[in-house]
Amino acid sequence: MNCRLAICQTNPKLGVVADNLQSHHQWLDRCLEQKADFALFPELSLTGYILRDLTSDVALALDSPQISELVARSKDISLAFGFVEHSLDHRFYNSFVFAEDGVIKHVHRKVHLPDYGIFEEGRYFAAGNNFTTFESKHGRFGFLICEDAWHLSSAWLHFLQGADALLVPVASPSRGIETDGEHLASQKSWHELCAAQAKFLQTWVVRCNRVGYEDGVLFDGESAINAPTGEVVAAAHHSEEDLVVYELTSSALKRARVETPLRRNAHANLVRRQLAIIANDPDLSGLIDDE
pLDDT tens digits, one per residue of 85-137:
999 999 999 999 999 999 999 999 999 999 988 899 999 999 999 999 999 99
CA dist., res. 219 & res. 235, Å (int): 16
Q: What are the φ and ψ backbone dihedral angles of 210, each rounded to 5 degrees? A: -105, 175
**pLDDT confidence of residue 154:** 97
> Bigger pLDDT: 273 or 210?
210
Q: What is the pLDDT of residue 291?
A: 46
- Nearest 10 degrees: Cα torsion 158, 138, 10, 108: -40
Average pLDDT over residues 231-254: 96
| pLDDT, averaged across the chain | 93
Are 182 and 144 spatial neighbours (Cβ–Cβ below 8 Å)? Answer: no
Residue 184: predicted pLDDT? 66
Predicted pLDDT of residue 238: 84
What confidence tens digit (pLDDT) does each residue in 261-279 have?
A: 888 888 888 888 888 888 8
Measure the CA–CA gap between 86 and 261, rounded to whole angstroms. Answer: 42
Distance CA 135, CA 114 (A): 28
Query: How far is Cα 46 from Cα 42, in angstroms, rounded to an integer?
Result: 9
How far apart CA 266 and CA 126 sit, in angstroms, is: 31
Residue 177 predicted with pLDDT over 80 = no
Q: Is 101 left (phi over 0), alpha (psi -120 to 50) or beta?
A: left
Residue 232: Cβ-neighbour burial (10 angstroms; 0-12, 13-18, 19+): middle
